[in-house]
Every structure is written in structure tokens, then in C-alpha cells.
Structure 1
Amino acid sequence: MSLRVVTPQRLMFVLVLVISLHVCESKRQSKHKENGSFLPDINLWETLNKYITRVIKPDTLFLESGKRTIDKVVKYLHQKLHPALQSCLKDVLPPGELKKVNINKIVKGGSLGKSTAVKNKSDIDLVIFLNGIETVSKLRDVMPNILECLEGLLDTLVNDGQQPWARRFRHLYKSKFAVPIELETMNDLDEKDTREIDLLPAVDIIKSVGSIKKIYEEMDSVDDNLRRYFSASLSPLQLKFVQEATASAKVKDLIQFMKHWAKVNDVPVRSYFLELVVIHVQREHPERDFDIDERCKDVFRVLARCDGLKIVFNNNYDVTLYRNAKTNEVPHVLCPSNPYMNTAPNVHNAKIVSRLAKEALDYLDSTN
């Protein structure tokens, strides 16, 4: 049996290799710590797919509890809002118009409605379409009375003792278009459950005007203040667009991840903006079965140039037809249901988004 002689050269090669691997690992560990601002609780070498499953995706109990709470709120509104509106609007509408005012339908939007909620965090938009108010101009005129009416119903909901599941609510901020609240309830397990809910009055302008194109033409002819009152009424188009574009579970996962990243890092963007950027990236790379880690990099590459973004979706309109569309603003990511709504952050915040996205890209590249 012969013994293999280890030459000094071979020994030196092995030593250099070991030192190189150690230095590389140390750099990775250091990079991981430096990028704690990316995701502080992500494990070294953990794939984003595993991280999403472990940290971000909501469990079935949380989702079902939220749906039951929203169903209770919707049922309460259907029972109580009509007589309340008759009282609140009696001084601003003539009797002939007043008697026609009632609920047409309530559309559920927000992250719970779009199935993009994250663990222990969901929001819901309840868009309340009203009969008897035919135009957006009329809606604007009576909006203060309707919002006051909704606030009164919320007070009754949590204070009259007839709905023991509803405990308390607080206003999140003041709005001319909605009643945004945080509602605390008790779920079926007698546990405290808190949900963010926006109550948004709207009119069925698609039905009353006759075509989407005519709606956009009308919006183009009015002032910017009145134009903002159209948004809630166009929400079914927005909801349909997002639901169709995120039919793939992986696309939903990616949106949930980006929302979580933005929340953890205080990124100054709207969730809806992130949804649209993810959808834009997915349209650029339309394969349904993709690697989450790589697709996430694609999204961060787009966000890294946030201050110069110009994204328009042409599903419902030709933006060149409307002189007041928000294409003159940079950055812009226009709502696919509303060419007059720019979801992108302002220039100052866009630069912050770009910086944080570049840091995220650096981290992801360092772990490959």
C-alpha cells in the first residue's frame, strides 16, 4: 500500500481554497447582517418562496375569520343603511328623489377582496353603490351627509349592544370620499380581531352613462376635484383587472411579498402601486411557472428606477385620447380603470423607493 505524498504546492492550494471559502462565507454573513433592513427575519440561504410560506402567507383561519366579519358588516349595512339615509338626506334631496335612494349592491375590494392579504394584516374596501343618485356630481353634493350617516351607523353598531361581535372602532384618517376605520370585533373563538375597512359610497355610472368610453370623456371635461369622486364608482373595473391578472397563485405570492417588504422597510408607496408594478412585470415575463427569487429581482429592477417610471395599462382606455390623463406626471403608474389616477409615489418618495429597491437587489445578488 503506497502513501500519497502531499506536496507543499498542494498543501498551499488547499489552504488558499479554505481561506477563500471562509472569506466568502464571512462576507455573506456580513451582507446578511447589513441587509437586516431588507428583511430582518429572513434566514441566511432561505429562499423567498420558503420565507413567504413561513412569514407572509395568511392562514385559513385568519382569512375565514375576516370574511365572516365582513359578511356581518355587509349584512348590517343592508339592514340599516336605507332608513338611515332617508333621515340624513331629507334636508338635501327633494322627496321624489329621496324615496329612490337605497343600496344597489356592495362590492368587496381591498386585499381581502383581491386575495392578496398578508399574515395578520388585511384591509377591505366596501364600495356601497346607491340607487337614486344618478350622477357623480350629485354624489359629491350629498357625500358629506352620506359619510355622516355611515359614521352614525358605526357608532350604533358598536354601542347599542345588538351586535355583540362588534366592540369598537377608530377613524384611521379624515377623507372626503370614504369612512376609513379600524374595526375591532370578537371572532367565533371569542378572540379579539381587528380589521381595516374603508366604506366608500359610489354610483353605478357604467349603467347610467352607458359606456366606459363616455365616462372617461366626461371625466376629461370636468375639474380635478370632481374627477376624484369617480374613483370608487370605477372600482369594479379595477377589481376585475387585478383578479384576472393575479389568477396565478405565484403572482399573488409575489404581491404579498412586495407588500410585506414595503411594510417592514417603511417604503413610501401604496399597496395598489405595488400590485400594478408586479402585474406589469408579469406581463413582461408572462410565463406562469416562474422562480419567485428571480421574478422578485425583476420587480426590484423596475422599482430601482422608480423615479422615472412610465407605466400605462390599455385594457380599458387609450390614454392618448384624454388630455387630462396623468401621463404628464413622472413617475406615473396609471390605474387601469382610471387614466386620471396616478398610483406612483411623488418624486421625493420615488427616490427613496429606488434606493431601497437597489439595496434589496444587492442583498438578493449576494445570496446567490
Structure 2
Amino acid sequence: MALYQVRPGDLDTYIYKYLQPDERFLKQVAETIDKICTFLKEQCPYKISKAVKGGSLGKGTAVKNGSDADLVVFLNNFKSFEDQTGNRTEILTDIRGLLLKYEKNIGHQIKMTPPKTNPRSLNFQFKSTRSSDFVEVDVLPAFDALGQVTRTRTQVYEALIAAGESGGEFSPSFTELQRDFVKERPTKLKSLIRLVKYWYTEHVQRPYKPQLRSDKDLPPKYALELLTIYAWESAEKGVDFSTAEGFRTVLELIVQYKHLCIFWTTNYSFNSSRIATFLKNKLKEPKPMILDPADPTGNVAAAARWDLVAAAAKCCLQQICVKDVKTWNVKVKYLFCQVGGQ
């Protein structure tokens, strides 16, 4: 059944029937990811201290037939953020060769994406069963910044800022914080996130992505996840809310994308003078601004074709699923940066 034909009161049922992944499938995928992690730890020539699963599978927001996982491998030979950029291409090439050579050991068909110049990650797909769709995986080698016992969280973020790389360059080091920020949300909110992501895939990515020039891109799904969380938090809706109202609120925020300036102080704050100065300058940058709650250098809404997303949102607002639905009262202070804290 097409989303746009669903009545507002039936959206929860629609999510459960058509968007919620099968538990058996999720279990099989988790087992395969664990097997890949174990394999890399045993076979990789670089000592891996730990491997962390992020992406929609790690956060609990996977959509049926559209699952993805970020597999971040923390390497002992990375002693700083700068090490992460210097050796990444060689490490990814070696991991790629291992996975292709020992595909049978993993037990599943693997499809490798052609390597890019100066890649940040290794992308591949696998099937958990013969009948399932492919699951997309990004392998990202990273410096275990949060595991440095000699540094406080504040010192870690000060070192990140001092590294001076482009925004979000070292976000894999904070995958656990990104994952937990979403994963710990109520089940119903994660279902709303699932609905927003499905709409985005079907009505934005599928029609528009093939038309984009190589130097242009659409916003990452992580930006839509954060925008949905922000709408729910700012409206103070708790665990019992109208899915249709939440969906409409997110769509209307997308239409206002030029004014969005959203940030959290969950993992970093204005208490450090260095971080405070950085944040004040960062929040003055062009909008939309959705600052990664795990990485203050990363505006996940930056440099993307939000105009296309807004056009699709305007169309959706006229459809049966949300047309005559109320919008949540989103607090204005969330829409415009209050530099100095929330």
C-alpha cells in the first residue's frame, strides 16, 4: 500500500506491517556482522582493539529491505586523529582484500563497491539469506579517541578541534555516542524515525539522486533522524504521541530548512573556553545547521540539496496521510541558535 494513501490514524499499523524489519532477519544480520567483526579481528594485519556497529542496524531504526550498518574498527596503531587520515587508504585496501579472499569463511555472498580515490570507508553489501535483500555495510577505520584513559571527554573534544580537519572528518571515532543518542530513544519515536526515513528514500532519494551532478548530494539519513528527534524533544511529547502529527511536524520543519539551527549539549558543552569559542563560531555558519550531537565539528545538514527535500515535503503535506493533521508546537528557541547553550 502506498504511504500517501494511508489515513493518519493507520500510520502506526502501516509502520508495523510494511516498515518494521522482521526479527528473524535482524537476528541473522546481527550474527553476520558479529562474524565479520570476529573475522577482521583475527585476520587483519592491524591490531583491532574493538569493532562497533552503527548505522540504522546499530541504532534500531532499520527499515525493511533498506538496512545499513556502519562497522567502525578501532585500530591500536592509530594514536591520534591525524593518524586516521594518513594510513586509511592502505588499511581499507588490505581489509577489502581480506573480505574478498575469505568470503566463504564469512558464509555469505559479498558485493564490493568499486573503491574511490582517497576513500573514508570501504563499502560492501551482503545477503543474510538467499531470499533476503542485500544489507549495506560501511567499514570505517578509526582512532579510539573515547578509549584514551588519560584524557577526559572535554580534552578529547579539544584535541578534535585542534586537529583542524573539515567538519565531521573524524566522526567515526564517536560512533558509539552517535548510536546511543538515537538507540536510547523510546520505541515509538524510533518508529516515527523509520517512517521519515522510508518517506525520504521513496520520495526524495529514488527520484532525485540519479539526477544529481557528481559534486552534489542529498542530506544523509542521519540528518533526518536528528531532525525527528529534535521535533519530538522540543514539543515535549513523551512516549505517547500521534505519529501523524509527528510526521507532519518533521515535514514542515524540512520546508523551513533555511532557518534550521539545531544543536545539543549532551556530549560536549560551553564549559570549556576552547569548545565554547569553537561552537559560537560554528553556529554562525550558513544554515541549515544540524550539529552532530557526538561531533561538534560536523554539521550533518551542510552542503546538500535541501531544496529538493523541501519540494518533496510540500507535496507530502497535501497527501491523505497528513493533510488535515495538527502540527506539534515546536519551541522557537530550537529553530534559531541561542549561542551559549540551549
TM-score calculated relative to the size of structure 2:
0.81
1:282 corresponding residue in structure 2? 232
1:119 corresponding residue in structure 2? 64
2:292 corresponding residue in structure 1? 335
Contact 1:172–1:181 (Cα < 8 Å) also in 2: no
1:32 corresponding residue in structure 2? none
Matches of 1:156 and 1:116 in 2, distance apart? Answer: 32
Give 1:228 deviation, angstroms: 4.5
Matches of 1:216 and 1:261 in 2, distance apart? Answer: 35
Unpaired segments ≥5 residues, structure 1: 1-35, 86-101
SS at match of 1:121: coil
Alignment of 1:301-316 (within 5 A): 301-316=252-267
SS at match of 2:296: strand
Contact 2:257–2:306 (Cα < 8 Å) also in 1: yes
Q: Does 1:263 align with 2:263?
A: no
2:143 corresponding residue in structure 1? 203
1:112-134 deviations in whole A, cap 9, x for unaligned?
11110011111011111112321
Matches of 2:36 and 2:164 in 1, distance apart? Answer: 34
Give 1:295 deviation, angstroms: 1.5
C-alpha spacing 1:118/1:307, structure 2 compared with 1 (3 Å): same
Query: Which of 276, 293, 298 in structure 1 is aligned with 2:249?
Result: 298
Contact 2:8–2:244 (Cα < 8 Å) also in 1: no
Report which of the two has the higher share of helix.
1
SS at match of 2:298: strand
Matches of 1:302 and 1:117 in 2, distance apart? Answer: 23
C-alpha RMSD over aligned residues: 2.3
C-alpha spacing 1:211/1:352, structure 2 compared with 1 (3 Å): same
SS at match of 1:198: strand
1:137-190 deviations in whole A, cap 9, x for unaligned?
1222221221111111111122xx444x2223221663622111122x453xx5
C-alpha spacing 1:43/1:291, structure 2 compared with 1 (3 Å): closer
The code of the aligned residue for 1:76 comes to F
Matches of 1:74 and 1:281 in 2, distance apart? Answer: 35
Matches of 1:317 and 1:131 in 2, distance apart? Answer: 25
Alignment of 1:323-362 (within 5 A): 325=282, 327-346=284-303, 349-362=305-318
Contact 2:292–2:298 (Cα < 8 Å) also in 1: yes
Matches of 1:232 and 1:133 in 2, distance apart? Answer: 13
TM-score calculated relative to the size of structure 1:
0.75
Alignment of 1:56-205 (within 5 A): 56-81=19-44, 84-85=45-46, 102-158=47-103, 161-163=104-106, 165-171=107-113, 174=116, 176-183=119-126, 185=127, 187=129, 190-191=130-131, 193-205=133-145
Matches of 2:128 and 2:314 in 1, distance apart? Answer: 42
The code of the aligned residue for 1:152 comes to G
Identity %: 29
1:59-108 deviations in whole A, cap 9, x for unaligned?
11221221122122112112211xx33xxxxxxxxxxxxxxxx1111111
C-alpha spacing 1:218/1:366, structure 2 compared with 1 (3 Å): closer
C-alpha spacing 1:262/1:280, structure 2 compared with 1 (3 Å): same
Query: Which has the higher relative contact order, 1 or 2, with Cα contacts under 8 A spaced 6 or more apart?
Result: 2
Contact 1:326–1:339 (Cα < 8 Å) also in 2: no
Matches of 1:281 and 1:154 in 2, distance apart? Answer: 41
Matches of 2:239 and 2:128 in 1, distance apart? Answer: 39
Contact 1:108–1:126 (Cα < 8 Å) also in 2: yes
Larger radius of gyration: 1
Contact 1:262–1:269 (Cα < 8 Å) also in 2: no
SS at match of 2:173: helix
Matches of 1:334 and 1:346 in 2, distance apart? Answer: 13
SS at match of 2:111: strand
C-alpha spacing 1:204/1:52, structure 2 compared with 1 (3 Å): same
C-alpha spacing 1:173/1:251, structure 2 compared with 1 (3 Å): farther
C-alpha spacing 1:345/1:134, structure 2 compared with 1 (3 Å): closer
SS at match of 1:335: coil
SS at match of 2:72: strand
Matches of 2:240 and 2:285 in 1, distance apart? Answer: 36
Unpaired segments ≥5 residues, structure 2: 206-217, 271-275, 326-342
The code of the aligned residue for 1:252 comes to K
Query: Which of 159, 164, 171 in structure 2 is aligned with 1:218?
Result: 159
2:183 corresponding residue in structure 1? 243
Give 1:271 deviation, angstroms: 0.9
1:231-290 deviations in whole A, cap 9, x for unaligned?
11111121222222x2x1110110000000001112533110011001101111222101
Matches of 1:140 and 1:238 in 2, distance apart? Answer: 21
Give 1:45 deviation, angstroms: 6.8
C-alpha spacing 1:359/1:191, structure 2 compared with 1 (3 Å): closer
1:287-312 deviations in whole A, cap 9, x for unaligned?
21011111211211211201221111
SS at match of 1:346: coil
